[in-house]
Amino acid sequence: MAALKEGGCFVVSMADISAARDRIRPFGIRETPMHSSTTMDTLSGHELFFKCELFQRTGSFKARGATNAAALCPPGMPMVTHSSGNHAQALAFAARATGRAATIVMPNNAPAPKRAATEGYGATLRLVRSEDRASAAALAAEELGAELVHPSEDPRVIAGQGTVALEALEQVASSLGMTGHQQPLDVLVIPVGGGGLLSGCAVCCKTLWPELVVVGAEPLAMNDACRSKRAGELQGNKAGATTIADGLRTQVTTHILGLIKLTCPATTRTVGPIKRIFSGLFLASSALTRGQWFATCATLYLRLTRTIS
């Protein structure tokens, strides 16, 4: 797999994403459905498509990247990561699927259900203070002679996450009866936490359809990606900042920001203006749909009838 560093970032190609899709299927990673909603179309004034990754193994898109990374590891080599939830479960699943051990470093305040689910896939947990998890994971990998798989800052993970967009583009085109010469979507909205999903999907979309606008979305209280992209360097979140969107509390990292900058020079729109989701909007959306659609759809796809400025 090509994963060179250029300009301080990982380089992931469309070939990597296509290969990842073929690589992860034998290990149980499935194509997830794309749904639409007449109610949401009416409220928004646009034609919306929802890529429902809650139906993926472990309940999130994270299983894609983790399984791709596991499949590329030498047979039998144990794996280590740090995560408080979705990636923890995903790597535990991937380790079991590929016949290897997994050790997951989790913050000691991680929700009990997520800890139980991770152990349920056969992983060994190490609980540490939240601020110590990255260093503890590095020490565990060295101690165990294991492969360290970062939740987002890993080209194998990024390529796996990019399969979400690859599937979605094909599904929308098929549902609308489009030919291979017609762009299936106008805009792709990707939630941003660590940035692995955004990076992989941006590479996929802009390789296949250069005019497709990719927008990163994050909570206003945790908008480090928005501020980092604007400043051209990493910007942290305020101490104590939090959001109801707990899956988006992680921050983008150096190589992820580098990839976004590399694939989004000033003359292109690979990753468009990163939109911020106000907590009030998130709560209103959750109330409207009984807390399901936004919390469980990893990615929101929009096919707009007019251009977004």
Catalytic positions are 62, 84
The answer to whether the CB of 180 falls within 8 A of the CB of 144 is no
* Cβ-contact 53, 32 below 8 angstroms: yes
- What values do phi and psi take at 127, rounded to 5? -95, 130
CA separation for the pair 253, 20 (Å, rounded) = 23
Strands 275-277, 213-219: parallel, antiparallel or unpaired by DSSP?
parallel
Give the SS3 label for residue 201.
Answer: helix
**Host H or E run for residue 90:** helix 86-97
Q: Are strands 79-82 and 102-107 parallel, antiparallel or unpaired?
A: parallel
Helix (H, G, I), strand (E, B) or coil at 12: coil
- 3-class state of residue 259 by DSSP: helix
